[in-house]
């Protein structure tokens, strides 16, 4: 990496770690990130930048304008936390009951802030063409997510590429994970409602045994959907909640099943709802039960653009060296970063945050934390990627 940017990140690493800890101790849920938004905006204003808070009241965008003509490269962070307890014992653990930064969005915010501050300082002494647009997205843990507000307000207009990263506790500190093509999956949710006459468990033959029908749906539905989607890529269908009845001697008259459906391929995602409806009809026909499917489209898969991914690859070589670049497996989780890729070239990376000691905990685990040295690595990486994109024009 260029020594000028490296030095400007290094001098801020302690501050960036402290900033991340501040956000970690005071997490805020989707679209309630008011203090988080204010903290980020205040720090950007200290160096003379002019952040713009989104019209929805949380999240912000800030341009770091270079000193020569050039393109616009956007760096994206997400800022919201999860509705879950913080199970860590650190001094900076969450002070908000039932809310925690267990997905690393606090670190993402510190990384993009650090990259922006370093580039702002570099502009004072070197020629930097174009504009770096810092995106601090609210509501990533919601559907369709704050990326939609970013797009609706026109912040992708004129942008050449959007670059981002996500903490990955499965990857070691000092490594950056990259992947060609889809790096996350599309994610939809659905609720299946089943209804029947109800009755006495002593006489199931005189009514619709709704529990038995529900069990058949649970057993057969995933395979039936996957067969109908007919994709060469990954498809995952999993039930997460089932409810029917309250008494052991009553056959219930209604029940509900909630599920998520994930597709790694855009075309498969387009076929998913039709496949789900056809599968449910095929399973329930002839049982006497009435079935209704409420289907909710979520986010598309994150598919890395080849040109934008090349910027990340070049930056990773400069930041962690060729030995530090690993091929990351596709995640069947979803990310609202996908919406940017539907509009402009975009690419997403995985930032190694595992210190090498202890178990490799998953994201969304209550004991999730990171090796905070990753923040400086991430800031250098994104700053370098933005510079490469700007100087290529």
- DSSP letters, 321-336, are -GGGEEEPPPPSS--T
Q: Quick one: which of 339, 226, 210, 344 has its CA closest to 278?
A: 226
How distant is the alpha carbon of residue 149 from its chain centre? 16
Q: Per residue in 101-114, pLDDT tens? A: 999 999 999 999 99
Residue-wise pLDDT tens for the chain (393 aa)?
456 889 999 999 999 999 999 999 999 999 999 999 999 999 999 999 999 999 999 999 999 999 999 999 999 999 999 999 999 999 999 999 999 999 999 999 999 999 999 999 999 999 999 999 999 999 999 999 999 999 999 999 999 999 999 999 999 999 999 999 999 999 999 999 999 999 999 999 999 999 999 999 999 999 999 999 999 999 999 999 999 999 999 999 999 999 999 999 999 999 999 999 999 999 999 999 999 999 999 999 999 999 999 999 999 999 999 999 999 999 999 999 999 999 999 999 999 999 988 778 889 999 999 999 999 999 999 999 999 999 998
The Cα–Cα gap between 337 and 259 comes to 22
Please name the residue that has the structure tokens 């402290």: 18
CB burial of 347-386 (b: ≥16 within 10 Å; e: otherwise) equals bbbbbbbbeeeeeeeebebeebbbbbebbbbbbbbbbbbb
Phi, psi torsion values for 205, nearest 5 degrees: -70, -15
Domain pair 3-184+302-392 / 186-299, same fold? no
Please say whether the beta carbons of 373 and 20 come within 8 A: no
Q: Angle CA(24)–CA(155)–CA(265) in degrees, nearest 5?
A: 80
* pLDDT given at position 4: 81
> What 3-state class would DSSP assign to 248?
coil
What are the φ/ψ torsions at residue 95 (nearest 5 degrees)? -100, 5
Residue in 155, 175, 98, 191 with CA at minimum distance from that of residue 356: 175
pLDDT recorded at residue 1: 45
- pLDDT of 2: 53
Count the residues in the chain.
393
Q: How far apart are CA 138 and CA 78, in angstroms?
A: 6
Class of domain 186-299: alpha beta
- Name the residue ranges covered by the structural domains of the chain: 3-184+302-392, 186-299
In 3D space, the residue among 191, 211, 189 whose CA is nearest the CA of residue 256 turns out to be 191
| pLDDT of amino acid 361 | 80
Residues with Cβ within 8 Å of 300's Cβ and at least 6 positions away in sequence, in order, are 186, 266, 269, 338, 339, 341, 342
Closest C-alpha to 160, from 380, 337, 342, 390: 390
Say which residue the tokens 């601090």 belong to.
136
Instruction: Name the residue among 47, 33, 128 with its Cα closest to residue 77.
Output: 33
- CATH code at 3-184+302-392: 3.40.630.10
pTM of the model: 0.94
């Amino acid at each position: 990496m260029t020594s000028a940017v490296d030095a400007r990140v290094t001098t801020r690493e302690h501050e960036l770690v402290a900033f991340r800890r501040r956000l970690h101790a005071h997490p805020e849920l989707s679209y309630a990130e008011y203090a988080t938004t204010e903290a980020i905006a205040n720090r950007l204003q200290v160096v003379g930048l002019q952040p713009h808070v989104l019209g929805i009241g949380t999240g912000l965008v800030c341009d770091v304008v270079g000193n020569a003509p050039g393109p616009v490269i956007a760096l994206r962070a997400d800022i919201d936390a999860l509705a879950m307890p913080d199970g860590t014992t650190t001094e900076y653990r969450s002070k908000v009951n039932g809310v925690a930064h267990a997905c690393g969005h606090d670190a993402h915010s510190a990384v993009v802030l650090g990259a922006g501050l370093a580039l702002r300082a570099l502009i004072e002494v070197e020629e930097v063409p174009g504009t770096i647009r810092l995106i601090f997205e609210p509501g990533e843990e919601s559907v369709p997510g704050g990326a939609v507000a970013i797009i609706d307000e026109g912040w992708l207009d004129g942008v050449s590429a959007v670059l981002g990263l996500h903490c990955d506790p499965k990857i070691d500190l000092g490594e950056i994970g990259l992947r060609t093509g889809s790096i996350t999956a599309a994610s939809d949710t659905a609720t299946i409602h089943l209804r029947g006459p109800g009755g006495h468990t002593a006489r199931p033959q005189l009514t619709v045994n709704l529990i038995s029908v529900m069990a058949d749906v649970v057993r057969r539905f995933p395979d039936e959907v996957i067969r109908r989607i007919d994709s060469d890529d990954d498809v995952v269908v999993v039930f997460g909640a089932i409810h029917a009845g309250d008494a052991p001697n009553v056959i219930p008259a209604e029940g509900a099943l909630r599920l998520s459906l994930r597709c790694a391929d855009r075309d498969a995602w387009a076929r998913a709802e039709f496949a789900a409806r056809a599968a449910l009809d095929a399973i329930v026909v002839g049982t006497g039960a009435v079935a209704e499917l409420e289907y909710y489209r979520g986010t598309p898969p994150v598919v890395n653009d080849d040109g934008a991914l090349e910027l990340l690859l070049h930056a990773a070589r400069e930041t962690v060296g060729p030995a530090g670049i690993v091929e990351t497996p596709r995640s069947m989780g979803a990310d609202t970063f996908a919406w940017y890729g539907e509009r402009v070239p975009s690419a997403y990376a995985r930032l190694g945050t595992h210190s090498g000691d202890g178990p490799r905990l998953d994201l969304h685990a209550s004991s999730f934390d990171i090796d905070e040295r990753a923040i400086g690595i991430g800031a250098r990486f994104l700053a370098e990627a933005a510079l490469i994109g700007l100087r290529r024009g």
